Amino acid sequence: MARTREFDIDQAVDRAMDLFWRRGYADTSLPDLLKELSIGSGSFYAAFGSKEQLYVRSLDRYVSLQRRDLENALDAEDEIRPAVRRLLASLIEADLADPARGCLVVNTATQCGDRALVEDRVAAAIRQVESLLAGALERARARGELSEDKDPRGLARFLTTFVQGVRVVGQARVGRDFVDDALSTAMRVLD
């Protein structure tokens, strides 16, 4: 008779995500994961298959949370400029508060982007940000907040690139003045 699972899979994925996010894929060992999740190796392999498969699940979880947060940020304001500014400022604040942590998608791209299992997911996560921003910018243009000559998709791609760059720059600890100046310049693309 098979034993019943004695731990919550979703909680375990969240805890693993946090560990991978803090340490990175390469610096997180199987014993680290077993300790963090308080499970044995048999339970680990039965639930997740491998370290890489758990990493993929953790990355998927991060991307779903990122999507929710991005949608909430873009829907929190009636106008696009304050929504985008608040979104970008919140990322900057997160990086200033904990520069070593950064963004799990960026960390994945820079630390293990050559792994086939995560390469597609990183690209999809970046496309997701672009798509959500483009949708918000298209709605803003339809409301008359952006001039007709503005290309929502092009602006979304620029802002997506800016977001990823801010995450990298945050890890470099260049300081508030640097990122605040960059944010002010980035916001002018919406004018």
pTM: 0.86
* Alpha carbons 9 and 115: distance in angstroms, whole number: 24
pLDDT at 1 over 50: no
Kindly state the helix (H) or strand (E) to which residue 128 belongs, with its residue range. helix 116-142
Higher pLDDT: 20 or 119? It is 20
pLDDT tens digits for range 111-146: 876 677 788 899 999 999 999 999 999 999 999 999
pLDDT at 170 over 80: no
| 36 and 53 Cβ atoms separated by less than 8 Å | no
* Alpha carbons 70 and 137: distance in angstroms, whole number: 13
* Alpha carbons 66 and 68: distance in angstroms, whole number: 5
pLDDT on residue 174: 76
